Structure 1
Amino acid sequence: MSGIKREIVEIQGKVLTLTNLDKLFWPEAGITKAHLIKYYLNMAPYILPYIYNRPLVMKRYPDGIKGDYFYQKECPSYAPRWVETYPVKHTGKIINYIICNDLPTLIWLANQGCLEIHAWLSRVEDIDYPDLAVFDLDPGEGVAFDEVLKVALLVRNMLEEFGITGFPKTSGSSGMHIFIPLAAKHTFAEVTEAMKRLAEIIVRAYPGGVTLERSIARRKGKVYLDYLQNGRGKTMAFTYSPRPLAGAPVSAPLTWTEVEGNLVRPDSFNIMNIIDRVEKIGDLFAKLPASKNRIDLFIKNNRLQILGANTINSELI
């Protein structure tokens, strides 16, 4: 599609008009809107299962990463009738979020300049009960990615002490995400509280390198362990989402071996090479949907904080 400004296509019985296909979205790399749409076409089998039935927030870059962007929660009135939506009640209003369960909707989103895929941690069948929790590892000023990897391993070890499995991925920016699949049985507030307690264990184990400080100025030299991303309505770049940074990086699943061996960088994977990686080693998050960790004790029992702080292997610090 490169070099074509406009094209009418039919995808799974739905007709779409793709526009401005030659517009540069990542100018330095010569990557156009057509490349972005092709990426979503190729990666749809791996992207759609993770966002299935999740309300989406569109982060739109109509003029590419060098232009203005905006977040859009409400499905626009001009969307095709076949674009599925789900109404979610917020304080004082109802927002009709887009639900992207098929390829035509995914390509329509790409054509809207929806560069990133931001999804809820819950699905519409249990909208107030998340089936995912997340730790967002965000390096403060002066923190190298090596340190982010080190903190990720510390989180992994702590989770394993409590029989919890975490799935690591690059954020596609400077940090990492660790996804924790759950049974959808606790509220967002309960999950946030559980993640806070787990985060506090990490801070006690490595106070010189990890912080829960919300002030950006006070995070200098440390990795911010953001548990507040587990709040109701919070979204983040989901699995295989492109990012609006030079080189078109994507948020890519990792193996813990890659984390241990310091084998990855924030920009290791992008929209041009991720398909080869997936075809070669498979989808590293394939087991995530079937995994259901239990966090009940962290919601009900404060004493686990003390136990956790005593069981972390300190040799990583």
Structure 2
Amino acid sequence: MSELRFVVQLHRARRLHYDFRLEVGGVLVSWAVPKGPTLDPKVRRAAFKVGDHPMEYVAFEGVIPAGTYGGGDVIVWDTGAWVPYKDPDPGAALDAGELHVELFGEKLRGRFVMVRTRRDEWLLLKKRDEHAVAGWEPGEHPLSVLSGRSSDEVKADPEWEWRSELPAERAALRLKAEDERTRKAEDERTRKAEDERTRKAEDERTRKAEHANDTEHANKTDHTNKTEHANKTGHTNEAEHTNKAERSNARARKSADKHATTRERMGEGARASVHERGGADAGAPGPEREHTRADERERAAESAIGGLESLRNEAGLDAIGENGTWEVYGRRLRVTNLGKVLFPGRGDEEAVTKRELLRYTARIAPTVVPYLAGRALNLHRFPNGSHAPGFWQKALPAHAPQWLTRWREPGSGTEYLVADEPAALVWAANYGGLEWHPWTSTVDHPDRPSYALVDLDPGDGTAWEDLLVLARLHRTAFEHLGVEAGAKVTGQRGIQIWVPISRGPGFAETRAWVEGLSRSIGAVVPDLVSWAWEKAERGGRARLDFTQNAVNKTLVAPYSPRPAPGAPVSAPITWDELDDPALRPDAFTIRTIGERLSTHGDLFSPVLHTQQSLPPLT
């Protein structure tokens, strides 16, 4: 059975309550839960059955006019997917008065049961499973999972209004469209002079860059003499610099070379191995396809190094003071507070400012966009820096520029950003999106994932070497199964694995496959693994998290920054680097990943092209 949607809306009408809504039969079957759902299995919550709501209401966040049904403010307190268990027919289960559900939300996860006590009075109970948390109260988690805002903030500055007297498809009215157009017009008039200065400065810097290239070309004729002179006098700084770079990347290069020639997991060896086994879905490559992938790696390396367009982008950014308009990848973007510190320094390093983040994003965007294109993008926003509290932003704000590609989720009506061009990712970073989380599925088939995800989530007591043991066990399992997968360090403490798959299975199937794989591996080293959801319940052990394989659940994109000192990034690795004693989960930062890309290209790119079916777990 395909996954269904659920939502819990924190609703302040005559009195505060939580509206618990499940998609059943094309509508939202709804209960009012005065004290809200809980993850505590010892607590029973009274739930009162109310009228069904249309599916268009599933992502509504805003205000309902006073004097109308439900008048007050509403936030999306939690949302996600759900599946029935025990009885595959939820309609029949509701009629019978006992509905067992499994939720895959941001806050609510695991199994719950709803039991009718009399007519429209029900009880909502949490089952005892790995997601259960003693003493868990909804009031301690008050913010919206869509906007990161509180009920007070939404009430004070709502973006949407629900008019129940209108047809459901037109009932959600945007409140800010006209104000936004007015603001844009006013901003455009006040920025003209500043934009003109920016363009002139950019042109001047570009001319200087082109002049430098011409000078380099003119000097090529005496390059040999200069080199000989340097050798004779012992001035071999350039050679020493090259040797230093070679030494710093020796382990990674050796690993990459070995990886390409001896392991049948990623790259040519893996694809040839699958082809020999007769895997039709694996998409065995021909010379033309391999040449294309080589070209893509070369282009990824070039994007990290930068070309003329990169020089123009950076020249435009450097010409701006604290605020201004930046022309980047053909789009005009208003940038502000460029001197703000977004990441504290690591050790003796300088802090990372917003200007540096935007420069990195512009450089890396051509490499990252293929992982984001055609997918809804969730942003983890830290507008006040990684050292301040952040929140998740899913719905595209009303003030977002019109040139951004959008996707409106069927049923919920939530409008998501689709970052299918480099400038869109730069906009997201400028908006405070320090982390970039693309959906596992594409917008044309949101219920059909193109990756199965494995998240090795360390506990408080998990040593790095213990996590490497778990990752190596996954490596062995993939070799045994003949499955191609891409690994990356998270930029924090963990390791994540993306398994590319041919379109077909739904999230329930991929989640079941990953759960089977993870539990098999966990059984080998039970002292390292816990299946409890909350870290406090794990006894310091790691969790092999298979629950991210659900609608609107994500892992961080490759090369995305992480909210930690030094601005570490989630960096792809070769499987052989798991044996490198120098490997660390947060070793690569926005200041150092470019050199790695320049040397090795995009190590993660095979997941973009591999098509394979998930084999039976034997």
TM-score normalised according to structure 1 size: 0.90
Cα offset, 1:221, TM superposition: 4.1
CA distance in 2, matches of 1:179, 1:236: 9
The amino acid that maps onto 1:64 is G
Q: Which residue does the alignment assign to 1:279?
A: 598
Which structure is higher in helix share? 2
Count of residues paired in the alignment: 297
Aligned partner (choices 57, 62, 69) of residue 378 of structure 2: 57
User: Which of 467, 488, 493 is equivalent to 1:169?
Assistant: 488
Q: Tell me which residue corresponds to 1:12.
A: 329
Q: Quote the residue 1:84 is aligned against.
A: 405
For the residue of structure 1 that corresponds to 2:410, the secondary structure is: strand
Residue 537 (structure 2) aligned to one of 215, 218, 227: 218
Percent sequence identity is 35
CA distance in structure 2 between the partners assigned to 1:23 and 1:261 by the alignment: 37
Deviation at 1:263, TM superposition (A): 2.8
Quote the offset at 1:118 in angstroms.
Answer: 1.1
Identify the residue that residue 461 of structure 2 maps to in structure 1. Answer: 142
Residues 244-298 of structure 1, C-alpha deviation per residue, up to 9 Å, x if partnerless?
A: 011110000001111122331122100000011100111101211111231153x
The code of the aligned residue for 1:47 comes to V
Please state whether the residue corresponding to 1:225 is helix, strand or coil.
strand
1:289 pairs, out of 595, 608, 614, with 608
C-alpha contact (below 8 Å) 1:151/1:210 kept by paired residues: no
In the TM superposition, what whole-angstrom CA distance separates every residue of 1:160-199 from its partner, at most 9, and x where no partner exists?
A: 2111122110111111101101111111111111111111
Aligned partners of 1:281 and 1:251: how far apart in 2?
16
The 5 Å alignment of 1:88-99 reads 88-89=409-410, 93-99=412-418
Equivalent residues of 1:202, 1:210 under 8 A apart: no
Is the CA contact 1:118–1:235 (under 8 Å) kept in the aligned structure 2? Answer: yes
Shifted more, 1-10 versus 178-187: the winner is 1-10
Once the two structures are overlaid, the 10-residue window that deviates more, 204-213 or 281-290, is 204-213
1:48 to 369, 376, 386: 369
Distance 1:250 1:212 in 2: 27
Q: Which runs of 5+ in 2 are unaligned?
A: 1-316
Name the SS for the 2:503 alignment partner.
Answer: coil
Matched letter for residue 241 of structure 1? S
On the 8 A contact 2:351/2:566 being kept in 1, the answer is: no
Correspondent of 1:74 among 395, 398, 404: 395
Distance 1:198 1:143 in 2: 20
CA distance in 1, matches of 2:613, 2:519: 18
Aligned to 2:470: 151
Q: Return the offset for 1:7.
A: 2.2
User: Secondary structure of the residue that 1:157 maps to in structure 2?
Assistant: helix
Whether 1:179 aligns to 2:179 is no
Contact 1:151 1:223 in 2 (8 A): no
The 8 Å contact of residues 87 and 95 in structure 1, kept in 2 or not, is answered as yes
Report the Cα offset of residue 12 of structure 1: 3.3
Contact 2:377 2:437 in 1 (8 A): yes
Q: Secondary structure at the match of 2:572?
A: coil
What letter matches 2:332 in structure 1?
Answer: V
Secondary structure of the residue that 1:85 maps to in structure 2?
Answer: strand
Distance 1:74 1:163 in 2: 39
Taking the aligned partners of 1:234 and 1:75, their CA distance within structure 2 comes to 17
Q: Could you list the runs of 4 or more consecutive aligned residues of structure 1 that deviate by over 6 angstroms after TM superposition? A: none
Q: Given the superposition, is the C-alpha separation of residues 215 and 24 from structure 1 closer, same or farther in structure 2, using an over 3 Å criterion?
A: closer
2:341 partner letter: L
Aligned counterpart, 1:115: 434
CA shift for structure 1 position 36: 0.5
Gaps (5+ residues) in structure 1?
298-303, 308-317
Asked if 1:25 corresponds to 2:25, the answer is no
User: Structure 2: how far apart are the matches of 1:281 and 1:174?
Assistant: 23
1:208 aligns with 527
Aligned-pair CA distance for 1:109: 0.8
Q: Is the 8 A contact 2:327 2:333 kept in 1?
A: yes
CA distance in 1, matches of 2:488, 2:329: 31
After TM superposition, the structure 1 = structure 2 runs for residues 95-106 of structure 1, keeping only pairs within 5 Å, are 95-106=414-425
User: Which secondary structure state, in structure 2, belongs to the residue aligned with residue 258 of structure 1?
Assistant: helix
Structure 2: distance between partners of 1:198 and 1:89: 32
C-alpha contact 1:182 1:294 (8 A) present in aligned 2: yes
1:203 and 1:212 in contact (8 A); partners too = no
Q: 2 CA distance for matches of 1:12 and 1:32?
A: 21
Distance 1:151 1:208 in 2: 11
Native 8 Å contact 2:365 2:426 kept in 1: no
TM-score, normalised by the number of residues in structure 2 = 0.47
In the alignment, is the contact (CA less than 8 A) between 2:446 and 2:551 conserved in 1? no
- 1:35 is aligned to 356
Q: Which moved more, 1:23-32 or 1:94-103?
A: 23-32
Change beyond 3 A, Cα 1:215–1:68: closer
The separation in 2 between residues aligned to 1:262 and 1:123, in whole angstroms, is: 37
1:200 and 1:267 map into 2 onto residues whose CA distance is: 27
Partner of 1:130: 449
Which secondary structure state, in structure 2, belongs to the residue aligned with residue 180 of structure 1? strand
CA drift of 1:134 comes to 1.0
CA–CA separation in structure 2 for the residues paired with 1:216 and 1:53 = 34
Q: Which has the higher contact order (CA 8 A, sep 6+)?
A: 1
Amino acid at match of 2:524: A
Task: Provide the C-alpha distance between the structure 2 equivalents of 1:94 and 1:233, rounded to a whole number of angstroms.
Answer: 14
Q: Hey, what's the Cα distance between the residues in 2 that align with 1:53 and 1:73?
A: 15
Distance 1:217 1:63 in 2: 28
